[in-house]
Structure 1
Amino acid sequence: MRRLWLLFAQTVTVALALYVVVHAMRPDWLDRPAPRLVGGTAASPAAVLQAPPQPVAGSYREAAGRAMPAVVNILTSKALRQNHPLLRDPFFRKFFGDRLPREEQLSSLGSGVIVSPDGYILTNNHVVEAADEIEVVLADGRKAPAKVVGTDPETDLAVIRIAAKNLPVIVLGRADQARVGDVVLAIGNPFGVGQTVTMGIISAVGRNNLHINQFENFIQTDAAINFGNSGGALVDTSGNLIGINAAIYSQTGGSVGIGFAIPVTTAKSVMEAIIKSGQVVRGWIGIETQDITPELADSFGLSRESGAIIAGVVRDGPADRAGIKPGDILLAVQGKAVANTSEMLVLIAQLPPGQKAKMTVIRKDRQSTLDVMVGKRPRAVE
C-alpha cells in the first residue's frame, strides 16, 4: 500500500513539474482552444475539424486598415483637340473618315491621399497636370469631381479638393524619424486593378541628384510601386503617412524594387503653402553652382571639399548686385553651412523674398560675408 502511495506521489510531482515548464516556456499550448467539430451537410456529409480564430503573428493588417480608407484613385481626362496629332493619324482616320470628332477623352489613373476632412488631397503633379477633368474614387466606392487647388512642379506635388462628407483622413507620420530597414507599406492603384497594398523596407533616405525633380530628398523603398501608384501613400507599421509615392527606377516600366517617395515633411509644407496662396513661394538669388569634388579642389588648389563653387551669376540678379562673382565658393547661407549644391538650393529656397540674407563666401583664400536681397524664384515651366 505504501508503495502505491509513493508511486502516486511521484506521478503527481512529475505532472506538476511538466505543467510548470510548459506554462513558462509555451503558454499558448495551454490556452489554445479546442478545434470545433463542424457537422456534415447535404453537400458535404463528412464532419470536419475547424480551427478557431488565431491572431496572425507579423501581420500588418491593422496598419493597412487604418491607411487604406484615406487612399483614393484619381481619374483624369484630357480633351483631344482638332489639331491633336492623333486626329491626323491615317489609322485613326480610317475609322472616322471625314467625320473626325472635335474631341475625344483619354483617361489615366493615379492615386492620392486624403489629408484633411475639408477634402484636401495630396497627389503628384504629373498625375493631374494638364487635366481638363478630375474624378476621385474613394475606397468605399463613392465618386466625386475634384478641382486643382495648386501645383508645385519642382517637387512634383499637387493639392486637389473634393466636396464630400464623412471623409476618412490619414494620420501624418514623422518622416524625419524614418531609418533604413524600417518596414513600410505602399498603397495605391497599380495598373488600375484596384486598391493594392505592397510591403517592403526603407532602402535609403535623403536620396537626391536623381534628376527627377528640382528639389529632391526622396525616401527609397523596395515596396513594389508601379504605374498608377503615383500619388499614393507610403505608410509605416502604424498606418501613418511618411511619404507620397512618386517615381520608380525601371528599365521595363515595372517595379524592380527601387521606388521613391516624397517625405511627408516636404509634402506638408508644400500643401500648406498651396492652400494659403495657391503656389509655393521660394527664395532665389540668381546663381548657378557646382559641387566641389576632389578633382576640382586639386585643380583650383582648394583646401576644402565642401561648399559650392559659383559657376555663373545672373546679370543684374540679387547675387550680382550684392557682389558675388563666378569662382566664389559659397560656404554658408544665413549662418547655415553649405555642404553641396543640393543643400544650398534648399537653404536659399527657404529664404523669404524681399529680405536680406547673409552669404559667406571665399574668394582667393579670403573669406567675406555679403548681404544679398533675396528675390522670388521664377516658377518652373510645367
Structure 2
Amino acid sequence: MTKRTNFPRSAIAGAALVALPLLAHSQTSPQPPQNVLQPATKEAQALPSLAPLVESVKGAVVNVDVQATSTRGERPTSPFDRFFGGEDPRGSRREPIRQGTGSGFIIDPKGLVLTNNHVVEGAVAIRVRLDDGRSFDAEIVGRDPLTDVALIRVKAKTDNLPTVKLGDSDAMRVGDWVVAIGNPFGLASSVSSGILSARARNIHSGPYDDFLQTDAAINPGNSGGPLFNLKGEVVGINTAIVGGGTGIGFAVPSNQVKALLPQLEKEGAVTRAWLGIGIQDLDEDLARALQLPVKEGAVVNQVNDNSPAGRAGVKMDDVIVSIDGQKVGSGSSLTRSVALKKPGSTSALDVFREGKRQTIKVQLGTRPDLENLGVRPRQGQEDEEQSSKARVGLSLSNLDPRIAERAGLDSAKGAMVTEVQPGSPAERAQLEPGMVVVEVNRKPVANAQELAGIIRKAPAGSTLLLRVALPGGRALRALTLP
C-alpha cells in the first residue's frame, strides 16, 4: 500500500499562484536590456547533471551504526551542533548505552573507513552498512577528538570494497561546487549539492579549527560523511552545523585529514608538537602600540615554566611572524603549524622583540593532554587499562599538566589514579584517587597505558614497587598482584 501524504491546501495553492506568471513569462520571452550581462558561453547557461559523479562514488559512502556508552567531560556549550543524534556531545553527563547513526567513507579496499570521532566515541559496537546492502562489524583503529576525525576498520577479511580518494582541499576556491552524501536522519545515501561558502573557519570547537564552510544541505546523520569536489575526490569530512541555522555546515579539510592518517593508522592516536606558550592574534592596534612594521602574527602573552619555548628564550610580548619560513598570520595558524611538526624536532621562530627582528631556535616538545581527553593509542591498550581495573581494582588516566604542577612534578609524565575499588589489591596497597604513579620498580612511568601494561604482564604473586606523588611529597607503595 502506498502511503499518502496530505499537503496543506495553502501550500499547494501557493505553488499554483507562482507557476502561472512563470509560464506567461516563458511564452513572451522578452529580450533582455543590452546592459544586462549574459553568460559568455553555451556551457555556462546550464549546469551538467551530477548523476554520473554520484553514481561513481556513492558505493564507497557508508552508514555507521553505533551502540555507545561514554562519560562526557565538562566543556563549554556551543552554538554549533554535532551530527550524532542531533545533539552536541560536549555536555556533562554519564549516559547508558545509546543508539546512533552517522556516515563515513571507505578509503581502502580492505575496509578502512573515515568518519567523525563523535560518531564512534565510546562505541561498544559498530556496524558499517554499504549502499549495495552489505554490512560488516567494525572496530576503531584510531581517533583524534581535537579535530573530530576517526578511522575505523571492518572486521571481516575483504580486499574489494569500493573506495574514494582524498583530494586537495587547499585547491578549493570559495564558490566551487561541492556534493555531500550521507545518512541524514537515517535516510541512507542522500545527496545534496552546494558551493564552498568559506575557508579556514574557526568555530571554537577545538584548538585546530580550520573548517571548510558549505551551503550543501547537511543534517544530523551526515556526520562523518564525505564532501566531494566535482572530480569525485573527498575534500572534507562533514562535521558540524550551526544550531538553528540553515545552509551553514562545516567540514574538516581533507589535507588536515591526510596529515593525521599515518598516526591514526599506526599509533591509534595523534601526537603533536608543542611550544608551551599562550598566544593571541596581532592586530593593527597592537602592532601600532608595539611599534612593529607588520600587522599579522601571534603575540606571546604567556610562557609556561620549563616549556620548550621558555627553555629556548621566548619571552612575553614577543611577536612570532613565521615558523620555519612559513608565515604566521594569526595565533590559530601558528597553533596548527606547530601541531603538524614532529615532537623533538627543531624549528626556527622569527620574532619581533622590542621592534627588532630575530630568529630563535626551539626544540619542540610533545603536547600534553590539556583537555584531559585521555585518548588511548590502541584498542589493545584500552583492554590493558580495563585489565588493570579487573585485576587489581585500579583505574588510571594520563596526567594533566595542571595537576602535575599542583603535585610539584617537573613534567606531565606519570599515571594518575582515578578510582580504587573497595577491598581490591590497589586499596590494600593504600593507593588513593588523586595519587600520581611516577615510577614502577624504580623506573619512570610515562603514562597510564604504560603502567596498565606493566600490571597486566606482571606474574601472579609478584609485587610492584610504586613511587607515587602526593600533595605533600612522594611515597612508596607495594602493589601485590593476585
Instruction: State the TM bucket, normalised to the shorter chain.
Output: 0.7 to 0.9
Residues 1:151 and 2:155 aligned together: no
Q: Which residue of 1 aligns with 2:178?
A: 184
- The verdict on how the C-alpha distance between 1:116 and 1:326 changes in structure 2, with shifts beyond 3 A counting, is same
TM superposition shift of 1:230: 0.5
CA contact (8 A) 1:62 1:238 kept: no
TM superposition shift of 1:205: 2.0
Q: Which residue of 1 aligns with 2:53?
A: 63
Residues 1:171 and 2:149 aligned together: no
Residues 1:200 and 2:191 aligned together: no
CA deviations 1:31-50 (Å, max 9, x no partner) are xxxxxxxxxxxxxxxxxxxx
CA contact (8 A) 1:77 1:132 kept: yes
Q: Which residue of 2 aligns with 1:161?
A: 153
Moved more, 218-227 or 175-184: 175-184
Amino acid aligned to 1:345? T
TM superposition shift of 1:294: 1.9
- The verdict on how the C-alpha distance between 1:351 and 1:240 changes in structure 2, with shifts beyond 3 A counting, is closer
CA contact (8 A) 2:207 2:332 kept: no
Amino acid aligned to 2:174? V
CA distance in 2 between partners of 1:114 and 1:104 (Å)? 29
CA contact (8 A) 1:187 1:195 kept: yes
- Give the secondary structure class of the aligned counterpart of 2:181: strand
Residues 1:226 and 2:216 aligned together: no
Q: Which residue of 2 aligns with 1:136?
A: 128
CA deviations 1:145-180 (Å, max 9, x no partner) are 111111111111000100343311113323222112
- Give the secondary structure class of the aligned counterpart of 2:163: coil
- The verdict on how the C-alpha distance between 1:237 and 1:369 changes in structure 2, with shifts beyond 3 A counting, is closer
CA distance in 2 between partners of 1:211 and 1:106 (Å)? 26
CA distance in 2 between partners of 1:105 and 1:281 (Å)? 30
Amino acid aligned to 1:277? E
CA deviations 1:198-246 (Å, max 9, x no partner) are 1111112222x22123212222111001000010011122322111111
Q: Which residue of 1 aligns with 2:342?
A: 352
CA contact (8 A) 2:259 2:340 kept: no
Residues 1:258 and 2:248 aligned together: yes
CA distance in 1 between partners of 2:207 and 2:66 (Å)? 25
Q: Which residue of 2 aligns with 1:93?
A: none
CA contact (8 A) 1:198 1:223 kept: yes
CA contact (8 A) 1:63 1:236 kept: no
TM superposition shift of 1:273: 1.9
- Give the secondary structure class of the aligned counterpart of 1:132: strand
The partner residue of 1:118 within 101, 110, 125 is 110
Q: Which residue of 2 aligns with 1:244?
A: 237
Q: Superposed, which structure 2 residues align to 1:267-306 within 5 Å?
A: 267-306=257-296
TM superposition shift of 1:79: 4.5
- The verdict on how the C-alpha distance between 1:195 and 1:321 changes in structure 2, with shifts beyond 3 A counting, is same
**Higher RCO structure, 1 or 2 (CA under 8 Å, sep 6+):** 1
The CA RMSD measured in Å over matched residues stands at 2.0
Q: Which residue of 2 aligns with 1:381?
A: 372
- The verdict on how the C-alpha distance between 1:115 and 1:191 changes in structure 2, with shifts beyond 3 A counting, is same
- The verdict on how the C-alpha distance between 1:324 and 1:199 changes in structure 2, with shifts beyond 3 A counting, is same
The partner residue of 1:309 within 296, 299, 302 is 299
Amino acid aligned to 1:72? V
Moved more, 324-333 or 220-229: 324-333
CA distance in 2 between partners of 1:378 and 1:211 (Å)? 20
The partner residue of 1:216 within 200, 206, 209 is 209
CA distance in 1 between partners of 2:121 and 2:96 (Å)? 18
- So what's the TM-score if we normalise by structure 2? 0.60
List gaps (5 residues or longer) in structure 1: 1-55, 82-102
CA deviations 1:46-98 (Å, max 9, x no partner) are xxxxxxxxxx97211111111111111111112599xxxxxxxxxxxxxxxxx
List gaps (5 residues or longer) in structure 2: 1-45, 72-94, 374-482
CA distance in 2 between partners of 1:104 and 1:357 (Å)? 46
- Give the secondary structure class of the aligned counterpart of 2:213: strand
Q: Which residue of 1 aligns with 2:318?
A: 328
CA distance in 2 between partners of 1:61 and 1:171 (Å)? 18
Query: Quick check: which has more Rg, 1 or 2?
Result: 1
CA contact (8 A) 2:207 2:335 kept: no
